[in-house]
Amino acid sequence: MAFPLPRGVTASEIAFLAEMETVTIVPRQRLEGLELLGGPVEPLVPPRRASLPLWLALLLKRQRRANIIPPAWLHPEPLALILEVESQHQDYKNAFSPPPPLPGQPSILDQGALPTARPQYTPDGNRYYAAPPFLPQNTAQPVASSRDPPSLPFHWVEVGNLLLEAASDDLMDPDQIRRLLKDLREVRMAKMRSGIDVLDAAATGGGGVALTGVGSMELGEERGFVTGVVDGLRRIGSSKEQARREQMAEQRANGGYNGTQDDDEEEDYMEF
C-alpha cells in the first residue's frame, strides 16, 4: 500500500498547512537571516518586530527566544463581534461570516465593487494567485484596511489553538479567547450541519454548494461526510441526469447543432 490516507488533506495535514501562516513576533535575541526552502527569513534584531512562518515562531517561542504578537483577530473584542454576527445577524443565519478578502477583492463594505484579481507569474509562465496560508491574515497588523470588520482567517481553528497552547502568555485574556473560540466553533458547526439539506445541488453537473467563509479545519471535519452524501445523491440521480442530458442533446440536434462527437477515445485529457 503506497499511501493509506483517504482523499483530501487530513486533520494533521491541515495543522501542518496552518503552520505555514505568517505571524508577527518580537525576538528576544539576534539571529542572522536564513535562506530556507520555504523562502528567506529576515534577520532578527530585538526589539524590532519580524514576520515569520508560524512553525518557526513556535520553535523560537518554545525556546523562549521570542514573543508572538497575537494576530489582529485573536483578541476578545473582534472575536465577540464575529460571534455576534455569526449568531445574531439576519444575513448570516445560514452562512458563515465573510472571510478576509483576498488581494484585489473589494472589502465587504464596498458592495457592488468589482474584484480585480492580481496574479503573480510563476517561473513557468503560469498565473498564480496567492491564497491562505500564504497571505498575511494572521499578522499583528493585517494589510487590509482597518475599517474592514474583523473576520476569521481560513486557518482560524488551527492558529487559534496552536497559539493558545504554546503562547497563551502572549495573548490578552486567553481564557476568554478560548471560550469565544469554542462558542464560534459550535455556532459554525451547527450551520455546517444544517446546510446538509442543500447538498443535492452539488450532486448535479454544473451545480455546487457555496461554503464561503468556512475554515480549513471545519472543511476537513466535514469532508468525508459531505463527499459521501453528494456522491450517494449523484448515484441516485444519475439516471435522471442522463435523461436530462439526452433531452438537451436532442434539442440541440433539432436546433441545427453540428458538433462532432469523438468517441474513439475513452478519456480525453487536457494538455497543460
Partner 1 sequence: MDIDDILASVDHGPGASRESAALDHQLLTRFWVSERAVTEVLPWPAPLMERIMDRVRKQIETIEDLAASSDILTTDNPNLNLRLSILQTDLARTQYIVRSLLRARLAKITKYSMHYLVHLASRNKNPSETQSTASQNPNQQPADSVPDISSLTDLSPLSESEASFLHAHQTLLAGHYASSFMGAFPRQLRRLDDNAGGTSMIQGPDLKEVVFVRCLGAEVPVVVGGEDEEDGDETGVMMRMGDVWVVRWEGVKAAWGKGEVELL
- Ranges within 117-146 binding partner 1 (CB under 8 A): 117, 119-120, 122-124, 126-131, 133-134
Q: Prior bond to 133 cis, omega within 30?
A: yes
Cα 124 to the center of its chain, rounded Å: 26
Nearer to partner 1, 146 or 260 (CB): 260
- Shortest approach of partner 1 to residue 125 CB, angstroms? 10
**Owner of C-alpha cell 534584531:** 45
Nearer to partner 1, 80 or 166 (CB): 166
Confirm if 47 and 24 have CB atoms less than 8 A apart.
Answer: no
Give me the count of residues in the chain. 272
Nearer to partner 1, 172 or 208 (CB): 208
Confirm if 60 and 16 have CB atoms less than 8 A apart.
Answer: no
Nearer to partner 1, 89 or 128 (CB): 128
Of the candidates 88, 114, 239, 255, which one interacts with partner 1 according to CB under 8 A? 114
Rg, the chain, Cα only = 23
- In the numeric block, which cell numbers belong to residue 44? 532578527
Of the candidates 1, 61, 53, 55, the one whose C-alpha atom is nearest the C-alpha of residue 26 is 61
- Shortest approach of partner 1 to residue 175 CB, angstroms? 31
Beta strands 39-41; 22-27: pairing state: unpaired
Of the candidates 7, 23, 11, the one whose C-alpha atom is nearest the C-alpha of residue 67 is 23
- Scanning 69-77, 79-87, 181-189, 199-207 for contacts with partner 1 by CB under 8 A, the matching segment is 199-207
> 83-102: which residues touch partner 1 (CB under 8 A)?
99, 101-102
- Shortest approach of partner 1 to residue 141 CB, angstroms? 20
- Scanning 87-95, 137-145, 159-167, 264-272 for contacts with partner 1 by CB under 8 A, the matching segment is 264-272
> 19-58: which residues touch partner 1 (CB under 8 A)?
20, 29-32, 34-41, 55-56
